[in-house]
Structure 1
Amino acid sequence: MFEFDQYLGFLAFLTILTIGFWLMIFLITFVIPYWIGGALIERMKEIREEKKAKRQALN
């Protein structure tokens, strides 16, 4: 059915496909939400500091 070279190519393809699948799952479930959450927290801190600076400038 398969020659040895074809078998190795097929195994390499399956390995790359599996690694890509689990990498996408990891990125979607952990990395991207962590990145977005951190960006939102940093933006909220900046907004708070801007409001604080405006209040101090008025006083």
Structure 2
Amino acid sequence: MFDFDQYLGFLAFMTIATIGFWLMIFLLTFVVPYWIGGSIMEMIKEKREAKKQAQEELK
């Protein structure tokens, strides 16, 4: 059915595909939401500081 080198090639392909699959799952469930949440928090802080500065200038 398979020669030994074909079997090794198939195993290498399956290993790379599996690693890629789990990497995509990890990135989509943890890294991307953390990145988006952090940038939203940073944007809120910047708006809050700009609002504080504008109120201090009015005094």
Instruction: Report SS of the residue matched to 1:2.
Output: coil
Q: What is the CA RMSD across the aligned residues, in angstroms?
A: 0.4
Runs of 4 or more off by more than 3 Å in structure 1? none
Structure 2 unaligned regions, length at least 5: none
Q: TM-score, normalised by structure 2?
A: 0.98
Number of residue pairs matched?
A: 59
**Letter of the aligned partner of 1:35 in structure 2?**
W
Identity in percent: 69
Q: Distance in 2 between matches of 1:9 and 1:57?
A: 69
1:44 offset after TM fit, Å?
Answer: 0.1
Q: Distance in 2 between matches of 1:35 and 1:24?
A: 15
Does residue 14 (structure 1) correspond to residue 14 (structure 2)? The answer is yes
Q: TM-score, normalised by structure 1?
A: 0.98
Q: Distance in 1 between matches of 2:9 and 2:57?
A: 68
